Amino acid sequence: MRRRLLAVCCVSAFLAAGCGLLPGGDERHTVTVWLMKGSASQDFLDRFADDFERGHQDIRLEFRIQEWTGIVEKVQKTLRGDPGSGPDVIEVGNTQVSQYVEGGRLTDLSLESLRDWGKQDWLPGLAEPGQEGSRQFGVPWYAANRVVIYRKDLFQQAGIGRPPRTRDEWLADTEKLDQGGTQGIYLAGQDWYTLSGFIWDEGGELAEEKDGVWKGALDSPAALRGMDFYRRLQSLGAGPVGADEEHPPQAGVFAQGEVAQIVAVPGLTQTILQHNPELKGKLGYFPVPGPTADRPGAMFTGGSDLVVPENTDDRDGAVAVVAALTGAKWNTELARAMNYVPNKATLASAVDGSEGAAAMAAGAAHGRATPNTPQWTEVEAENPIKPYMTEVLGGADPATAARRASEQITQKLAPAFG
């Protein structure tokens, strides 16, 4: 039986007696870690636990795997629980941290972040959502972001010798590819995560905070330039203007063999090849190009942070687990095992052997997250950015449509000012 299961049995059967003695007479206490399904393989968790427990003779690790569906409510409930009644460490989506900070229910890890954990090197798309002011509550664990998945054979047939490095090159190459029965790119009209990167590259924002009040910012000149680039790129294919990338799923569209490029996480390749095994060996990856060749474009960075609930009864044990999981050794092990981006740009070389992960890492160095306010979930619930994009792609005046969408965002973020 695996040692992780032994730990669970110990907790459930002997908790009242202290779950004390292990073979060899060492007395240990349990540190409970909630991780999300699919974030780490069982092999990784077993190897990490063996190594960690050898170095911490007083701790026994227990991992409890959670489903993403309904996790926000579940985490909020356990954060309100009595001291010692819940997990000691929780994996949360990077953009979820601000929801849990409210009410003072997370441990401030600023001291450890600044002193021991190399906070200055963390990916901004993971670190910034974990902050409230100058305090750090979420510690970056791993990242994943969109790249361009492309057909190497179609690029070669079009006379394109290497992937583009600037947005102008990208447009020119995509125009060459958009010939005959081939779409230069399949880009759905409501792929607002991809649009966000173009807006950030221009110096714009989805929403801005001033004097403690958040307001929509899609109508700024910079944001409008980002939307205009999206419009030009999207026109070089047949992506539906009134749907997002999951309607229909773009992996299935790409697998049909008539699309040269899509913007997606590299892991989508597995689904593409399941639909069309004949594409094996024909797919490549490159970072979304930026305005200039000196750096890739900004992209929304997804991923996870680790947090420590304020109601843990073992802060020291929880901090030790977070330090180990996010430290260089095990963070790079996780990145290699799962094709993730490590939590620091300085560790990106760990995934050089994986073309897709390397492309992600290059983009993640300049990645961003959605506005860091708990109310952003209200924006995404009935996302006004999507219909705004459809309007512009359908020929509406961009400034008018952007102003209306910005007002709707403001109503969600700050109702008194909407």
> Which contiguous run of DSSP H or E holds residue 150?
strand 147-151
Query: What is the distance between the alpha carbons of residues 336 and 367, in angstroms, rounded to a whole number?
Result: 20
Residue entry with tokens 């073309």: 355
Spatial neighbors of 51 by CB under 8 A, at least 6 apart, are: 330
Residue entry with tokens 């997370």: 106
Per-residue pLDDT at 418: 54
- The sign of the CA dihedral 237, 242, 248, 250 is positive
Query: What is the distance between the alpha carbons of residues 363 and 301, in angstroms, rounded to a whole number?
Result: 9
Kindly report the length of the chain: 418
Per-residue pLDDT at 115: 85
Cβ burial of 177 (10 Å; 0-12, 13-18, 19+) is: buried
- How many whole angstroms from its chain centre is CA 298? 13
Query: What is the distance between the alpha carbons of residues 259 and 238, in angstroms, rounded to a whole number?
Result: 9
Task: Label the pairing between strands 89-93 and 29-36.
Answer: parallel
Per-residue pLDDT at 15: 33
- Count of Cβ atoms closer than 10 Å to residue 285 Cβ: 21
Per-residue pLDDT at 417: 63
Residue entry with tokens 């490549």: 284
H runs (alpha helix) in 80-115 = 97-101, 110-115
Spatial neighbors of 374 by CB under 8 A, at least 6 apart, are: 98, 99, 101, 102
pLDDT digits (tens, 9 = 90+) for 221-255: 999 999 999 999 999 999 999 999 999 999 999 99
How is 273-328 classified by DSSP, letter by letter?
A: HHH-GGGTT-EEEEPPPBSSTTSPPP-BEEEEEEE-BTT-S-HHHHHHHHHHHHSH
Query: What is the distance between the alpha carbons of residues 10 and 14, in angstroms, rounded to a whole number?
Result: 6
Question: % helix / strand / coil in the chain, to the nearest 5?
Answer: 45, 20, 35
Q: How many CA atoms lie within 13 A of 251 on its CB side?
A: 15
Q: Edge-to-edge, what's the strand order for the sheet holding 301-307?
A: 59-66, 29-36, 89-93, 301-307, 139-145
pTM of the model: 0.85
3 state SS of 223: helix
Query: With a cut of 50, which residues of the chain have pLDDT below it?
Result: 1-25
Closest CA to 232 of 176, 193, 175: 175
Query: What is the distance between the alpha carbons of residues 378 and 370, in angstroms, rounded to a whole number?
Result: 12
End-to-end CA distance of the chain: 58
Contact indicator for 300, 370 with CB cutoff of 8 Å: yes
Q: What are the structure tokens assigned to 103, written together?
A: 């009410």
Query: What is the distance between the alpha carbons of residues 107 and 135, in angstroms, rounded to a whole number?
Result: 10
Query: What is the distance between the alpha carbons of residues 370 and 129, in angstroms, rounded to a whole number?
Result: 8
Query: What is the distance between the alpha carbons of residues 190 and 246, in angstroms, rounded to a whole number?
Result: 10
Interior/surface letters 67-98, b for 16+ CB within 10 angstroms, e for the rest: eeeebeeebeebbeeeeeebbbbbbbbbbbbb
